[in-house]
Amino acid sequence: MTWLLSTNKSSGTKLIRRFCLYLILLIPLLHCSPTVYTPPTTLGKQDYPRTIEYEQSVEDIWVKLTDYISQSSYGLDSLDAENYYAELRFVSKQFHKFLDGGVLDEGGFNGYEGDLLELILPTDDFKSTLTCSIRIQLSRENLSSTTLSYIVTYETVYTKRKVLSEYKLDSQNPIYISTEDSAMSYTIAPSYLLEKQLFQTFSNFQ
């Protein structure tokens, strides 16, 4: 009986030792899991139309544009009736629907996994803000033909007691953020939701 207990104890000790050895070998491998970053898809989106042509006079389109501006929730930064130019602006604290940063997986036990924007521009406690500026220009092609063009500029600020990061991009130009790994950079691009909404709205001026 004593021999049996001794044998079981010896087997148990070996099992524990093997398990500990397994953990010693496994944990470094888990911590060294490679970082995987999937950038946002911008192919084709940057070519989304931001110009609309009308078979109407510039004066008629200007009236429709200013009527829309007066009823919209956007703030008005600039209105130049002589040059048919307007600039609108709004600030958002919940802005991830307007921007896309892709998905980051740092691997390991403590590595971050999820939306890149949540990591670099956290919105908890309203530490981050996004300012969107919409610049609209009407051009007279002839007496009965007008072109409307627009571009959206995005400016983010992450503040926690002091400004920690600022990024600025526009409808046509995503930005690329360098990392410690020279072979990898992060991308912030518009989601193009706002551009699509504006295009649909301005198309209704027809």
pLDDT in tens, 8-43: 556 656 666 665 454 454 455 444 568 889 999 876
Question: What's the rounded Cα separation, in Å, for the pair 178 and 182?
Answer: 7
DSSP 173: B
What is the domain partition of the chain in residue ranges? Answer: 1-32, 33-203
CA distance 100 to 159: 20
At 122-145, the pLDDT tens digits run: 877 668 889 999 999 999 988 889
Residue with tokens 């990392």: 179
Q: Is the pTM of this model over 0.75?
A: yes
